[in-house]
Amino acid sequence: MGQIRLEGLYKRFGVHEVLTDINLEVDEGELCVFVGPSGCGKSTLLRQISGLDQPSEGKVFIDGKDVTRVSAADRGLAMVFQSYALYPHMTVRQNLAFGLQNMKMPRAEIDRRIADVSRMLEIEPLIARRPGQLSGGQRQRVAIGRAIVRDPTAFLLDEPLSNLDAELRVSMRAELAALHARLGATMIYVTHDQIEAMTLADRIVVLRLGRIEQVAAPLDLFDRPVNRFVAGFIGAPSMNFLSVADAAPLLGGGTPDGVAIVGVRPQHLVRAEKGLELCATLVEALGTETVIHGTLASGARLLATVAGHLKVAPGDRLTLGANPEQLHFFNANDQRVDAIA
């Protein structure tokens, strides 16, 4: 099992409301990622689910049971923290065993679980070491292993990779995806990194100012963001937003009624005979792609990402077009407007 449901969840600290009317279902076996800018309420929401904090209003259900007032220890969930939260004076083995010993689990079962998890996470050679003798990636594996040995109803991971360097984050991300596939367990994963969200999630929950903006599969968020915030937050580099007047060279078929802003992703801009006239101000040659920063005649800024090497220098002018099907339209309230059929 491992189905989690939130109904009408609010969280207030004094007069400050940090979560507002959260309604969400996380299916059994799903890897659901909470993403959004700093201060949007991601970790606060995870704490309501874990039982480390209680909502001001609303209910939390796990496998259909109301656990809103049930303690964290009795919810059957396991958390993996950003800081690893390992006991520094204990060996890896002792860290893995500690929670199981508190549950009065038989020694033979503890040994079996630790052996299975150590083999799965490839930490067998580390079993006698203490956390201070481990690298960041090794400590993260141990923290994940400590969660797995409990055989929880669901895993809650609060920015578990944020303390790792960029290269290690990529490899650990792949390991987490493989681990989820192997365990088939429900996981809720909190991150501010939308690339992590896109690559790991079955579904992404986009939060802003304590509210859910959109819940969808990664590519659905990328292709059909419900508003300008989601469109700008999901995707790297961020989507370009242009006035209808500035975007006119891209709008051969006109725009739907009520459109105030036209969005186009940097990756969808290509060299063309007709289109936007861009004056390059900065060129970033990254090898696999060339990122061009520039301005239009109106002064509006534009970012284009072109595959491979492109010989462009600051001050050069180039014409960029886009497939009309890859344009996004938003009204004056920043809500999505569907394209003309």
Q: Is the pLDDT of residue 1 over 90?
A: no
Q: Is the pLDDT of residue 164 over 80?
A: no
Contact 62, 82 (CB under 8 A): no
Q: Is the dihedral of CA 264, 267, 273, 276 positive or negative?
A: positive
Q: How confident is the model at residue 44 (pLDDT cuts 50, 70, 90)?
A: very high
pTM of the model: 0.90
pLDDT in tens, 16-31: 999 999 999 999 999 9
Q: What is the pLDDT of residue 246?
A: 95
d(CA 23, CA 204) in angstroms, rounded, equals 14
- CA torsion 136-142-146-148 (nearest 10°) is 100
Q: What is the pLDDT of residue 34?
A: 97
Structural tokens at position 35: 């993403």
pLDDT in tens, 48-58: 999 999 999 99
Question: ∠ at Cα 85 (79, 89), nearest 5°?
Answer: 140
CATH number 3.40.50.300 is the correct assignment for the domain at 4-232: yes
Would you list the domain boundaries of the chain?
4-232, 238-337
Q: How confident is the model at residue 219 (pLDDT cuts 50, 70, 90)?
A: very high
Q: Is the pLDDT of residue 178 over 80?
A: yes
Contact 290, 283 (CB under 8 A): yes
Q: What is the pLDDT of residue 340?
A: 57
Average pLDDT over residues 207-231: 96
Q: How confident is the model at residue 328 (pLDDT cuts 50, 70, 90)?
A: very high
pLDDT in tens, 293-326: 999 999 999 999 988 888 899 999 999 999 999 9
Distances (CA, A) of 260 to 248, 256, 301, 330: 12, 10, 17, 6
Average pLDDT over residues 73-84: 87
Q: Using alpha carbons, select from 186, 97, 91, 96 the residue that is nearest to residue 130.
A: 91
CATH number 3.40.640.10 is the correct assignment for the domain at 238-337: no
